[in-house]
């Protein structure tokens, strides 16, 4: 973002903020601040408890379930009581029909995550030169096949960070087991990720892409397939009907509503005058009020030199800064602003 656009304190800082360093960002965000209405009824559980419940639920099901009296391939008859006739007519056209029971917590809604693995187990050929490959865009409608469930949702893509992405945050919570529901301090392990606008499974970028969406919890491990509603080419080369085609596969991760998915914006300024480790910066802010608001944020240059704002000069956004090393006249000074983003709405109809 350059100073040519109307960057003001009221328009920009109301959305983006900078109050942390890149390695300790998870320790400075309140997970319950400015949450959308869709987070009101989401189920939340720690990663350790969720993995333990998945293991205990599966072992309890295997131990207490009756022995299977029907072998694979044998014809059976299933009787369902109080089932509407109009609903039964819809099931006749759906093949195959999957009947499954639910393990504990699988009927609850949460923010689901899946790690994408690219074009494996899909119908696309990465070596084909006449086809650019599938492209998934964030916050667009996608079809998800998570285990035995298939539904449509608006997924949001992000890249998981390999290091510096975890932090412990202590927040007040209500303990229902204590008398009068006393408020206690709860420790939440937070992870940080970077928002991604789109994802091309055929690209060879060395990033770990994931997708977040609202859905019903499914115990892990479980495979995930992402389908896109695209046009299908006929044998003659003409465009046929639109169908859901698998564009990428992956594996389900533990649900985590507290994951910090951050969108970054960068303000860049130009060095006007240099004197040893001091410099005058212009074209980063619009007026002196912006300089006063951002004066506590750490400055950086493209060459890796750190600095801080000393004072404002004039009323047009210029300011004096001091750096940890000598800066060059042709270098650029910038600050990074961050905003937490969320997947839009619930399941698509």
> Does the 37-65+105-257 domain belong in CATH 2.80.10.50?
no
- pLDDT at residue 36, as a whole number: 84
User: Across the strands, what pairs with 149?
Assistant: 146
Report d(CA 101, CA 78) in Å as an integer.
Answer: 14
- pLDDT at residue 322, as a whole number: 94
Residues of the chain with pLDDT under 70: 1-29, 64-70, 94-95, 119-134, 160-192, 201-207, 230-242, 346-349
Is the separation of the CB atoms in 73 and 21 below 8 Å?
A: no
**9-20+265-340, which class in CATH?**
mainly beta
User: Which SS3 state, helix, strand or coil, does residue 119 take?
Assistant: coil
Domain(s) of CATH 2.40.30.10: residues in the chain: 37-65+105-257
Tokens standing for residue 39: 């987070």
User: Which SS3 state, helix, strand or coil, does residue 55 take?
Assistant: helix
- pLDDT at residue 120, as a whole number: 53
CA 100 to chain centre: 29
Domain(s) of CATH 2.40.10.190: residues in the chain: 9-20+265-340
Tokens standing for residue 284: 């980063």
- pLDDT at residue 10, as a whole number: 44
Which residues 6+ apart lie within 8 Å of 216 measured at CB?
106, 107, 108, 109, 110, 149
Q: How many CB atoms lie within 10 A of CB 253?
A: 21
Q: What is the CA radius of gyration of the chain?
A: 26
Report d(CA 214, CA 109) in Å as an integer.
Answer: 7
User: Which SS3 state, helix, strand or coil, does residue 9 take?
Assistant: helix
Report d(CA 114, CA 298) in Å as an integer.
Answer: 34
Give the residue carrying structure tokens 């656009």. Answer: 5
The 10s digit of each residue's pLDDT in 230-258 is 666 555 545 556 677 888 888 998 888 88
User: Which of 217, 268, 227 is CA-nearest to residue 105?
Assistant: 217
- pLDDT at residue 346, as a whole number: 63
Is the separation of the CB atoms in 167 and 259 below 8 Å?
A: no
Is the separation of the CB atoms in 25 and 192 below 8 Å?
A: yes
Is the separation of the CB atoms in 279 and 270 below 8 Å?
A: no
User: Across the strands, what pairs with 171?
Assistant: 186
């Amino acid at each position: 973002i350059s100073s040519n656009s109307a960057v003001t304190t009221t328009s920009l800082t109301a959305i983006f903020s900078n109050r942390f360093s890149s390695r300790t960002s998870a320790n400075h965000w309140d997970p319950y601040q400015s949450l959308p209405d869709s987070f009101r009824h989401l189920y939340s559980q720690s990663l350790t408890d969720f993995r333990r419940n998945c293991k205990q639920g599966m072992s309890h099901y295997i131990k207490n379930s009756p022995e299977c009296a029907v072998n694979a391939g044998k014809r059976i008859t299933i009787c369902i009581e109080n089932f509407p006739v109009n609903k039964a007519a819809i099931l006749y056209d759906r093949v195959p029909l999957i009947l499954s029971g639910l393990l504990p917590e699988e009927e609850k809604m949460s923010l689901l995550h899946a790690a994408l693995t690219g074009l494996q187990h899909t119908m696309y050929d990465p070596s084909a030169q006449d086809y650019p490959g599938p492209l998934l865009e964030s916050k667009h409608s996608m079809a998800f096949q998570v285990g035995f469930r298939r539904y449509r949702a608006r997924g949001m893509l992000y890249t998981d960070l390999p290091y510096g992405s975890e932090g412990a945050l202590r927040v007040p919570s209500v303990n229902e087991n204590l008398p009068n529901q006393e408020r206690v301090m709860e420790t939440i392990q937070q992870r940080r990720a970077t928002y991604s606008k789109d994802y091309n499974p055929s690209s060879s970028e060395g990033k770990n892409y994931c997708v977040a969406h609202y859905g019903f919890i499914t115990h892990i491990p479980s495979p995930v397939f992402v389908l896109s509603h695209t046009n299908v080419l006929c044998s003659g080369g003409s465009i046929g009907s639109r169908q859901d085609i698998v564009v990428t596969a992956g594996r389900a991760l533990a649900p985590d509503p507290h994951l910090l998915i951050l969108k970054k914006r960068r303000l860049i300024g130009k060095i006007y005058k240099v004197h040893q480790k001091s410099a005058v910066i212009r074209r980063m802010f619009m007026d002196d009020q912006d300089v006063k608001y951002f004066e506590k944020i750490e400055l950086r240059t493209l060459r890796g030199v750190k600095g801080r704002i000393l004072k404002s000069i004039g009323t047009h956004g210029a300011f004096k800064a001091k750096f940890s090393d000598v800066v060059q006249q042709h270098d650029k000074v910038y600050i990074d602003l961050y905003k937490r983003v969320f997947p839009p709405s619930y399941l698509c109809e």
